[in-house]
Amino acid sequence: MMADTSTQVCELNQATHNWRDLVGRYDLSGPRYTSYPTALQFRDDFSIAPLLNALVQNQRQQKALSLYIHLPFCQSLCYYCGCNKVVTQNRQRVDVYLKHVEREMALYRELLGAGREVRQLHWGGGTPTYLSHTQMQRLMDITRQNFNVIEDGLSERAVEVHPGQTSPETLDVLSRLGFNRLSIGVQDFNPQVQAAVNRYNSEAEVRALVARARSGGFQSINMDLIYGLPHQTLATFAQTLDSVIELRPNRLSLFSYAHMPAKIKSQRLIHSVDLPAAEAKLQIFSFAMERLKAVGYVHIGMDHFALADDDLVRAQREGRLQRNFQGYATGRDYDLLGLGVSSISSVGKAYWQNSKSIKEYQQALSDWTLPVERGVALNRDDEIRRWIINELMCHYRLNLQALAKRFAIAPGEYFSAELDELRALQSQGLVTLSDSHVVATEVGKLLIRRLAMVFDVYLKRDKPDAHRYSKVI
């Protein structure tokens, strides 16, 4: 049954009123901190040496991998999408692409040694289910040939699907290939909203996929929703949310639409006048957060929610939650290796990104060269700040004593300017400080990106650019 929207909004008014003015003060843009330094700090003159050093360290430590494979192909264009994508009806392009992905795997096998364990596998896009069943089988085969993909039933294998373009039979194929986690890009069920962003999937299609996934052995289902899309209202979004809640996904991502037409060309097809105002977006998010909490979901952080028995909740409770380029992760000690066009790797003390151009990506691999376009090697200060920002983003607190012990520094001296800034934010109700801890308040949790920004030296040097970052809430 659909919730009584008007009643719940009234109940939210008092809670929302207390921090709405504060949110107004922080109507600014900032990083999402899927890494630190962020991708904007990656350098085009990145030397191959840090990459090789990181891979050598991985080999010496025999660290397992989290393997991400980017599959950029899409059947149609979703206007809001900022992902690296190739919209085409020529499905033979996939075969050419997979040939180059296979070569990239072979290059890493030579650098890492044969048999490197893969404990997490993620197919992202684009639309991974654009691939034919034969192409999916081929991709899994070449992955197994180049890596030791662990088959113990505990390893995570996740795949993203567009429910309007995925058949139940395709889920059967994915299950046979070993996938056990499914991420469904719902976004919104309202027909007017779907037409405005050229993204179509019905509630019936999603229900059929969920039923097939659960009967077919998928252990976890995630759904993505986007708020702030054209023509969305609190009432229409509440309808979508209630339909999703009835399906009881294990995880739910509630992304804020970031309208950046100067940076993302497809967003120019969205009319700005049709977008909900900032106040309406705030009301939608407030409603959704309280509604999800009321039906048993835990707010992991930012835009992620999960049921109380989910691995993400356990990881957060045990202090091992992490942020990476896929969002929140369970914090196991794996290096992230990204394959495919535009993919990003995080191995040891280095980040690097592949070429964003599929032509340049494939040309590099045709020459038996890693298609790395840019990256960054972390210095000691980067490592310290990365740990701090991860603690804030994942656990809403910073243990100053643990910080001192871990990095052999005196936090009060090393971060004197940052602590002064936090004291100013404390007076505004975002954080509480003691001699041993920095802890975000309930309001501060909603503005956690703002707190993390305190420790970002690159952001302070370069100044936030509204055209490069999304809003912090």
Per-residue pLDDT reduced to its tens digit, 102-111? 999 999 999 9
Residue 65's nearest CA partner among 175, 147, 141, 170 is 147
Q: How confident is the model at residue 333 (pLDDT cuts 50, 70, 90)?
A: confident
Residue 338's nearest CA partner among 109, 107, 84, 122 is 122
360-417 pLDDT, tens digit each: 999 999 999 999 999 999 999 999 999 999 999 999 999 999 999 999 999 999 999 9
Q: Above pLDDT 90, what percent of the chain?
A: 82
Q: How confident is the model at residue 20 (pLDDT cuts 50, 70, 90)?
A: low
Q: How confident is the model at residue 446 (pLDDT cuts 50, 70, 90)?
A: confident
Q: How much is the pTM?
A: 0.92
Pairing of strands 148-149, 344-347: unpaired
**Is the pLDDT reported for residue 466 higher than 60?**
no
320 and 445 housed in the same domain: no
Least confident of 82-96, 160-174, 195-209, 315-329: 315-329
331 and 422 housed in the same domain: no
d(CA 186, CA 207): 11
Task: List C-alpha distances in Å: 47 to 41, 50, 193, 230, 330.
Answer: 14, 7, 45, 43, 31
Q: Residue 248: exposed, middle, or buried by beta-carbon count in 10 A (0-12, 13-18, 19+)?
A: middle
Q: Above pLDDT 70, what percent of the chain?
A: 92
Counting every residue written for the chain, the total comes to 473
95 and 212 housed in the same domain: yes
Q: How confident is the model at residue 98 (pLDDT cuts 50, 70, 90)?
A: very high
User: What pLDDT does residue 109 have?
Assistant: 97
232 and 115 housed in the same domain: yes
306 and 386 housed in the same domain: no
Report yes or no on 416 lying in a domain. Answer: yes
107 and 233 housed in the same domain: yes
Instruction: State which residues form the domain around 322.
Output: 39-339
273-330 pLDDT, tens digit each: 999 998 888 889 989 999 999 999 999 998 999 999 999 999 999 999 999 888 898 8
Q: Which of residues 286, 310, 339 is at a domain's end?
A: 339
d(CA 353, CA 375): 6
Report yes or no on 300 lying in a domain. Answer: yes
Q: Residue 93: exposed, middle, or buried by beta-carbon count in 10 A (0-12, 13-18, 19+)?
A: middle
d(CA 117, CA 16): 47
324 and 427 housed in the same domain: no
Report yes or no on 457 lying in a domain. Answer: yes
- The one-letter code for the residue type at 361 is Y
Instruction: Specify the CATH number for the domain of residue 426.
Output: 1.10.10.920
413 and 315 housed in the same domain: no
212 and 323 housed in the same domain: yes
386 and 327 housed in the same domain: no
Question: Considering its fold, how many domains does the chain have in total?
Answer: 2
333 and 383 housed in the same domain: no
Instruction: Specify the CATH number for the domain of residue 54.
Output: 3.80.30.20
User: What pLDDT does residue 27 have?
Assistant: 64
**Is the pLDDT reported for residue 209 higher than 60?**
yes
Report yes or no on 426 lying in a domain. Answer: yes
385 and 244 housed in the same domain: no
**Is the pLDDT reported for residue 267 higher than 50?**
yes
Q: Is 39 helix (H, G, I), strand (E, B) or coil?
A: helix
User: What pLDDT does residue 9 have?
Assistant: 44
